[in-house]
């Protein structure tokens, strides 16, 4: 997974989420871990079974605007933080990219008369998707979208959570606006029972 940290004059952002203050103690600890080449505890909780590529952009000559921008893939240089997770080989990465191209992405019915937002969805198998939803769509619609992509195999054995800060989306009756998921990054986490099934079928 790619983590993009942008250092602004008035704070820093992680994957274009809301800006964080340099004066906050937790944020200072986060940045200190990154400077040491260590994986911040916050990232360990979300991506405990994945290897991360953390990329840092220095934009301290610019002031971050409070409006959330639409996500744009990072194209600069970065470095890899050390972690205990297995290294993903080049062949595996290419396979994931090819699988993403070949996968038919199910369509989400949108109402053009209502506000629309783009949500990044990071699947447990490493794929990343960006999908448009109305703010009136519920979290259950996001789950259904993920299930349609993966088929019946992973039907119910996963949870959805925001990436930064980490927050499990337990109440799936809430809509995107109520859950404050505008332009959010959502991570799919397999439950233990599904992880075992997933690993067994890889052999």
Q: How many whole angstroms separate alpha carbon 56 and alpha carbon 166?
A: 20
Q: How many whole angstroms separate alpha carbon 135 and alpha carbon 182?
A: 7
| Structural contact between residues 137 and 108, judged by C-beta atoms closer than 8 angstroms | yes
Structure tokens at 154: 């992973």
| Structural contact between residues 160 and 187, judged by C-beta atoms closer than 8 angstroms | yes
- Residue 101 carries which DSSP code? H
pLDDT of residue 203: 52
| Structural contact between residues 183 and 68, judged by C-beta atoms closer than 8 angstroms | yes
The alpha carbon of 43 is separated from its chain's Cα centroid by a whole number of angstroms, namely 11
Mean model confidence pLDDT for the chain: 73
Is the bond into 24 cis (omega within 30 degrees of 0)? no
Give the number of other CB atoms < 10 A from CB of residue 137: 25
Structural domains in the chain? 2-80 (3.30.420.210), 100-200 (3.10.20.90)
Backbone angles phi, psi at 54, to 5 degrees: -100, 125
pLDDT digit string (tens) for 56-78?
Answer: 888 888 888 765 544 444 434 44
Q: How many whole angstroms separate alpha carbon 160 and alpha carbon 141?
A: 12
pLDDT of residue 70: 41
| Cα separations in angstroms, 74 against 12, 21, 144, 172 | 16, 22, 28, 31
**Is the confidence at residue 192, as pLDDT, over 50?**
yes
| Structural contact between residues 176 and 134, judged by C-beta atoms closer than 8 angstroms | yes
Q: How many whole angstroms separate alpha carbon 84 and alpha carbon 51?
A: 8
pLDDT digit string (tens) for 144-177?
Answer: 888 888 765 544 578 899 887 788 898 999 999 9
Number of residues that make up the chain: 203
Q: How many whole angstroms separate alpha carbon 27 and alpha carbon 155?
A: 36
pLDDT of residue 66: 64
| Cα separations in angstroms, 136 against 107, 112, 121, 130, 169 | 16, 12, 18, 17, 16
Q: How confident is the model at residue 106 (pLDDT cuts 50, 70, 90)?
A: low
């Amino acid at each position: 997974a790619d983590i993009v940290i942008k250092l602004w004059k008035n704070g820093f952002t992680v994957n274009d989420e809301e800006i964080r203050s340099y004066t906050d103690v937790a944020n200072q600890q986060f940045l200190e871990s990154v400077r040491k080449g260590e994986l911040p505890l916050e990232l360990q909780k979300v991506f405990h079974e994945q290897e991360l590529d953390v990329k840092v952009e220095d934009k301290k000559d610019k002031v971050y605007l409070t409006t959330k921008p639409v996500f744009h893939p990072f194209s600069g240089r970065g470095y890899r933080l050390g972690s205990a997770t297995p290294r993903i080989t080049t062949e595996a990465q290419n396979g994931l990219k090819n699988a993403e191209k070949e996968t038919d992405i199910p369509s989400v019915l949108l109402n053009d008369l209502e506000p629309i937002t783009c949500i990044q969805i990071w699947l447990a198998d490493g794929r990343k998707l960006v999908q448009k939803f109305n703010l009136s769509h519920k979290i259950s619609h996001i789950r259904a979208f993920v299930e349609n992509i993966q088929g019946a195999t992973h039907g119910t054995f996963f949870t959805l959570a925001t990436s930064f800060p980490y927050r499990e989306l337990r109440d799936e009756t809430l809509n995107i606006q109520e859950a404050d998921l505008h332009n959010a990054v959502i991570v799919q986490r397999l439950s233990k029972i599904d992880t075992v099934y997933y690993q067994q079928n890889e052999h």
